Structure 1
């Protein structure tokens, strides 16, 4: 039987210490159609999908303005009819607000939630137009419905976000 040899190392002796310099790696995706992949609603320097829940709550408490909704409308290529359906409100509710006037907390939260889904989708798909098109295509993982058909309710938005997450990790969706 082989005899085990034990080596005792003393701290501080050359050759007994391994040092590694600290490093932080930041990967910034270049998303086709988004300059520097910034926030859709312009609340922060980072996209809605990367904001903490506390940052999201603060933005919703402050309220979403008509001007910010307009940015979402332009980025998503949705008209007021589609936005109204996605947000479960009348078209007039969206149109009648003045530019700087803010929506109530409930509607602000739904607007932010929609921006969060689109922001996450843009990040995963890495192409604004491709994701916008995907939102209106039937999806087997969603029971043959389009993602857009489901985003009118909180549960539907969760399902759409789950499917985007599955796509991100390469799970059949």
Structure 2
């Protein structure tokens, strides 16, 4: 009788270089916005790589100073990592939270360029501040997520 072969099957979440607001889950790109909380937790525990951050930075059209401000970390924290080096879980959580917000915005606005521009346009709903100015903490990101949700449903925001 022939012995059964054991195959390695990976259920892990993989990064997609081309779309920084997406990941490969079982060989299929999935928007961060559509991932479960547990899938996002797994990504945070593994740590986000510098390569992923660079890809996100490019798509979001942000420089290191803007990214450091949005993540509430120093510029050096972001710059000192190389290639596949990963950030600690606290920084990784902030990166995933920010990328998740951008993924939602890209889904609603249809084009990354539109959303990126909107993030720096003063908004009446938040006291004529650009949305980017308040995303440096959880509550600011949630306020922006709520505004994007209202836009998705056609509510003036």
Scaled by the length of structure 1, the TM-score of the pair is 0.76
Q: CA offset at residue 38 of structure 1?
A: 5.1
Identify the match of residue 128 of structure 1 among 84, 96, 112: 112
| Equivalent residue number for residue 73 of structure 1 | 57
In structure 2, the partner of 1:117 is: 101
- Report if aligned partners of 2:20, 2:52 keep a CA contact under 8 Å in 1: no
In the aligned structure 1, how far is the partner of 2:22 from the partner of 2:104? 13
Equivalences, count:
137
Shift of 1:39: 5.1
Cα pair 2:20 2:55 within 8 Å, conserved: no
Deviation of 1:40 (Å): 2.1
Taking structure 2 as the reference length, what is the TM-score of the superposition? 0.83
CA contact (8 A) 1:124 1:168 kept: yes
Instruction: Report the CA distance between 1:94 and its aligned residue.
Output: 0.3
Deviations 1:129-173 (A, max 9, x none): 110000001111112111100110110000000000000011110
User: Is the radius of gyration larger for structure 1 or structure 2?
Assistant: 1
Counterpart of 1:149 in structure 2 is: 133
Aligned residue for 1:82, secondary structure, equals helix
Equivalent-residue separation in structure 2 for 1:76 and 1:165 (angstroms): 19
> 2:122 maps to what in 1?
138
Q: Is 1:107 aligned to residue 102 of structure 2? A: no
Structure 1's unaligned 5+ residue stretches are 1-36
